[in-house]
Amino acid sequence: MVKKILKWTGIVLLVLVLLLAAAPFLFKNKIKSMVLKAINEQVDANVAFEDVSLSLFSHFPKASVTVDKLSIINKAPFEGDTLVYMGEINLNMSVIELFNDAGEPINLESFSTKDGIVNILFNKDGVGNFDIAVKNAEETPADTTASKPFALNVHDYNVENLRFRYYDEGSKMNLVIDSLYHKGFGNFEQSKLDLDTETTAKLTFDMDKTNYMRDVRLKLDAVLGIDLENSVYTFKENKALINQLPLEFDGSVALVEQGQQIDLTFKTPTSSFKNFLGLVPEAYSGSLASVQTTGDFTINGKVNGLNGDNSVPKFNVAMASDNASFKYPDLPKSVQDITIDCIIINETGILNDTYVDLNKLAFRIDQDVFTASAHIRNVMDNPLVDAALKGTINLANFSKAYPVKLDIPLSGMLKADVDTQFDMASVEAGTYEKIKNSGSLNLTGFTYNVEGFKSPFVINEADMQFNPSRVTLNRFNAKTGKSDLSVNGTLDNFYGFLFKDQTLKGNFALSSDKLVVSDFMAEETKTTTTVVKEEEKDEKTTTTKTTTTSGDAVKIPAFLDCTITAKANSVVYDNLNLSNVSGKMVIRDETVSLKDLVTTIFGGQIGLNGDVSTKGAKPTFDMALALKSLDITQSFTQLDMLKKIAPIAQVITGKLNTNIAVKGFLESKEMTPDLNTLTGSLGGELASAALNPEKSKLLSALNNNVKFINLDNLNLNNQKINLTFDDGKVNIKPFDLKYQDIKIQIAGQHGFDQSMNYNVTFDVPAKYLGSDVTKLLAKYGNVDASKMMVPVTALLTGTFDNPKVSTDLSKSVTNLTNQLKDKLVEEAKTKGTEALTNFIKGQTNSTDTTKTKVPVTKEEAQEQVKEKAEEAVKKGLQNLLNKNKKQ
């Protein structure tokens, strides 16, 4: 009997396990269709999800439905924007619910989400992206219960890692709640219930490009009394933390037809001054457990009224502290006499009527006292600001009294006595006559790290004077690395730059004893994303790796619009040492325009005019350079650009006067020209110049191949050269040289890769070709060999380091033959047919006149002379040149 019971029990259990295992396959299509129906009946948007799965084991005895990677993408006017994305949604319900008829809803008992994103957007017309409900659904009969695939009967829920963003294009309001973790427990079957919640998140808030909160940590553990029939939510037991500041809430929020009716009060549960330090993120304030404080700090507030389309609740928030102090036990100094008196009030329910009164903020470190006050009105339409700063601060004491983590400790003395009254409309319009500013700001002995600079920036003294129209920089003396600079001038739009992100305009005079450009190289961080495909176990997976690299790069600030008249005794740029630098720089639209910049270098002077821009993806430059009396050897060996343009100039001594027009891209790391992108022209003249052929493989090869010329004695004085360059190629316009009575013409091109293709044509008197040719010319043409010119062409190919030199003699033969031929024919015109006949007979080298046809007419005689002359000259000259070539 027992065996039968065990047998049947085992069979039943086996069947149940098989049913549980098979159920996901049996119900999967049903669940998928229900999810699709739940979404499609409700929204007008592009909805997609990767998969829907059903499990009877993960939350047994409940069934669990998982929806993976659900996305809801807006249609117009927010087409392409993500409204909702959920990495994972889990819906839990009773297994019995799976057997409901198609028309019956499934009751959800709990749900959870992971890795979600919700974006609530309003465009400039006030239209929200969340209005995606199917419009004709509102026109259907009210009783649609039978068509609802799901019904809520939730007892608990969990939201894990949600990012919520609210952005209003009209008001430029941006609210981000990131890393939101929230869970709640309650019985929603009851109309009145207590919902026990736990919440953590990070809050960031910006408005009109001004950041008010950045990653403020929030924590709220609260029991909410919920009245579902009346839509009233009441705070009961609760404990909140803003960073480390504790707050308690009391009151309720009711949902009404016009909006939300709010009646809340909040306060700090204790009055210790640690409450104030708790407002500062823990990364900057350190642990508060051991801080010694005196005095108090309290926050009290109340919010009461309707939050609707045209109104906000009235509110009154007060922060106060009197005669407080704090001291960290590990630090030598304390902050004393702290006074805070600040209120934020709205008494009408109209947002623009909100005002802020910072009546007093004061503190003392040692003997240095600093006070500030500010009053802000008309916050929405046109904020009116009235503020004052006064006092002295020894900046070195900050790190001695407060746990500030700095690579280099602060130092220096700050003295301020500034009063300002302005409205933002005047700032935006630039009507500075309506702005009332007065006072001064002085900073001495200040040292700090500028992001990306290789060395600390040390301000020996900075003195600023404020008046209604501008800020005057009376003195600014600073050092960084090996560089020093002194600046004075004016800022004309300081307040627009400070408060409205407008362009900073100014006019300055800068002087320096030494400027090293690399000291001012800013570090730019670049992020690259690499997609890597990996194959494991016959399954292809794709992973994305993101790497961050840093490199030195100069980026001209977009916010600058200023003119700088500069003078420096020495400027070090790359490997160049420039002396007596002076000129004007206009900085505007991420571009520096150099005007009449002059410097002494390489024993001469360089003048520059042109632009350098970092506005595009890669920096560009467009320059006109005037070089006067530059030492040729130094300039063409130390300047890479000139070395590529004219490598042969490295073996020339003397001076160079030239004008260069050049443009192209700059290497962003060192801000040096990208030689492969250069385009431009060079036109110049050599002075007191001479060649050193032995220092050049090319000239040595040419000297060895052309016997009738010695390049050591070539005269280059006052020689003019013109060339153009583009696409890595330099084109030399033909130019002439002279060596004794030999004319030389050079033309061709070479590349920045040192390849070359040149023709060097020597116009050589025939006497240099030897006695055989000279006799030939004298005997048959009665020609003076010193006056008859023969072109000899040398072809230069290969590279400058591995040159190939060849001579083209065929043209020389043809040229000399034609000259002699023409001379004989011309002579025959005067001597007659008999002279020509004698010449013809002489060329046959035979007394047998029967082999030579005696011409009958003058024309026939001339034609025979032409043929015989060509044959004789070509034979003699070719033998001569071939003989010389072999030698």
Question: What is the pLDDT, as a whole number, of residue 374?
Answer: 95
- Is pLDDT at 218 greater than 80 in this prediction? yes
pLDDT tens digit sequence for 599-640: 999 889 999 999 989 888 889 999 999 999 888 888 888 887
Contact 594, 585 (CB under 8 A): yes
- Predicted local confidence at residue 122, as pLDDT: 86
| Mean pLDDT score, 178-194 | 88
**Reduced to 3 states, what is the DSSP secondary structure of residue 821?**
helix
Distance in angstroms (rounded) separating the CA atoms of residues 758 and 760: 6
pLDDT band at residue 333, thresholds of 50, 70 and 90? very high
Written in H, E and C, the secondary structure of 694-733 is HHCHHHHHHHHHCCCCCHHHCCCCCCEEEEEEECCEEEEE
Please say if the pLDDT value at position 46 is more than 90: no
The more confident residue out of 726 and 12 is: 726
User: Whole-angstrom Cα distance, residue 491 to residue 469?
Assistant: 9
Q: What is the pLDDT of residues 712-728, one digit of tens each?
A: 677 777 788 888 989 88
pLDDT at 467 over 90: no
Spell out a b/e string for 421-453, using b for 16 or more CB atoms within 10 Å of the CB, else e.
bbbbebbeeeebeebebebebbbeebbbeeebb
Does 690 score more than 50 pLDDT?
Answer: yes
Higher pLDDT, 538 or 198: 198
- Residue 10, pLDDT > 60, answer no
Q: Identify the three-state secondary structure at position 467.
A: coil
Question: Phi and psi at residue 493, in whole multiples of 5°?
Answer: -140, 45
Q: What is the average per-residue pLDDT within 670-681?
A: 84
Q: What is the pLDDT of residue 805?
A: 81
First to last CA, the chain: 125
Looking at mean pLDDT, say which of 306-315, 491-500, 731-740, 763-772 comes out highest. Answer: 306-315
- Label residue 783 by pLDDT band (50, 70, 90): low
When pLDDT is cut at 50, 70 and 90, the band that residue 542 belongs to is very low
Read off the tokens for 111.
Answer: 């749900």
Of the pLDDT bands very low, low, confident and very high (cuts 50, 70, 90), residue 529 is: very low
Higher per-residue pLDDT: 556 or 347:
347
Report yes or no: 522 and 507 within 8 Å, Cβ to Cβ: no
pLDDT digits (tens, 9 = 90+) for 570-582: 988 777 788 999 9
Confidence band, pLDDT 50/70/90 cuts, at residue 127:
confident
Query: Residue 21 pLDDT > 50, yes or no?
Result: no
Task: Map residue 337 onto helix, strand or coil.
Answer: strand
What pLDDT, in 10s, does the model give residues 640-658? 788 888 887 777 778 888 8
Q: What tens digit of pLDDT does each residue of 272-292 get?
A: 898 888 777 666 666 777 889
Question: When comparing pLDDT for 76 and 706, which is higher?
Answer: 76
Q: Is the pLDDT of residue 872 over 70?
A: no
| Residue 770 pLDDT class (50, 70, 90 cuts) | low
- Least confident range from 24-38, 113-127, 739-753, 756-770: namely 24-38
- Other C-beta atoms within 10 Å of 822: how many? 13
DSSP label of 128:
B
pTM here is 0.61
- Maximum separation of any 2 CA atoms in the chain, in Å: 154
**Average pLDDT, stretch 522-545?**
44
Instruction: Output the pLDDT for position 297.
Output: 92
Is 887 a residue whose pLDDT tops 60?
Answer: no
Confidence of residue 534 (pLDDT cuts 50, 70, 90): very low
Query: Model confidence over 549-565: pLDDT tens digits?
Result: 444 456 777 888 889 99
Query: Is the confidence at residue 537, as pLDDT, over 90?
Result: no
Least Cα distance to 472 among 457, 488, 451, 456 occurs for 488
Ranges of beta strands (E only) in 408-493 are 413-423, 436-448, 457-466, 471-480, 483-491
- 527, pLDDT greater than 80: no
Task: Give the pLDDT of residue 812.
Answer: 66
Q: How confident is the model at residue 443 (pLDDT cuts 50, 70, 90)?
A: very high
Per-residue model confidence as pLDDT tens digits over 805-833: 887 666 666 676 676 666 666 665 665 55
- What per-residue confidence (pLDDT) applies to 419? 92
For the cut 70, the answer to whether the pLDDT of residue 875 exceeds it is no
| Average pLDDT of every residue of the chain | 78
Q: What is d(CA 82, CA 118) in angstroms, rounded to the nearest whole number?
A: 8
For residue 343, with 0-12 CB atoms within 10 Å meaning exposed, 13-18 middle and 19 or more buried, which class applies?
Answer: middle
Q: How confident is the model at residue 452 (pLDDT cuts 50, 70, 90)?
A: low
